Amino acid sequence: MLLQDRIALVTGSGRGIGRAIALRLAGSGAQVVVNYRANAATAEETVAAIQQDGGRAVAVQADVSVFADAERLVAETLESFGRLDILVNNAGVTRDMLLATMTEADWDLVLNTNLKGAFNCCRAAIRTMLRQRYGRIVNVSSVAGLAGQAGQVNYSAAKAGLIGLTKALAKEVGPRNITVNAVAPGYVPTDLTADLPEDMVEEWMGYAPLRRAGTPEDIAAAVAFLVSPDADYITGQVLSVDGGLIMQ
């Protein structure tokens, strides 16, 4: 298997896209740390699904927007598995509304979780990867970070920031055989997108050449590729997984 003996940490992997990524990496041979902030039950369900298929996984609670929690998350990963090869920064929240009615708290929550959380986890994990002279980091951005989305100023800013983080960090750590890439999903029905207006979703699907929504498994497949040996010479890139939506 492509990821045999690799250790992967996937933030926000109790459900949705994060769960699909954790399951896909485990299916490729990785041992997985399933991170969650508040819902222990869903995280344990992800762990149980991995174990049922013969894989190895543990659930670790941590709020990645808090640097001390991110440090503890990485420390517990190392304590459980002895190393950390793959980091997928997937944890995210939304607080959608027009800028005119957006509060400072709405802005801070989204930026702190979606962007600062990735910084925190990268910062906590990078020393281990530098010592190993090996690491694979994938940040889950969004088409909103590439093109912007009305009603999602905070989310679009955070996801665009992830793209900048990806490219800058790729330049810093490339000499130590560490790659840093991003995926930019289009519309994927999950709990995170459940509150999007129906007319907005229909408009997006009308624009996308493939004329369908994405699935968590579509995103997981892209992540699995970027952390596999097949992508060893790819870094600093943003892979849109959106049915062609970004072209419109």
Residues marked as catalytic: 155
Cβ atoms of 227 and 8 within 8 Å: the answer is yes
Cβ neighbours, 10 Å, residue 173: 19
Give the separation between CA 61 and CA 71, rounded to whole angstroms. Answer: 12
Cβ atoms of 133 and 175 within 8 Å: the answer is no
Query: Quick one: which of 28, 82, 27, 81 has its CA closest to 50?
Result: 27
Give the separation between CA 95 and CA 80, rounded to whole angstroms. Answer: 34
**Which residues neighbour 120 within 8 Å (Cβ) at sequence distance 6 or greater?**
64, 65, 66, 67, 69, 70, 71
Q: What are phi and psi of 101, to 5 degrees?
A: -115, 0
Cβ atoms of 90 and 18 within 8 Å: the answer is yes
**Which residues neighbour 140 within 8 Å (Cβ) at sequence distance 6 or greater?**
17, 88, 89, 90, 92, 162, 182, 183, 185, 219, 223
State which amino acid sits at residue 204: W
First CA to last CA across the chain, in angstroms?
37
DSSP per residue over 230-242, as a string?
GGTT--S-EEEES
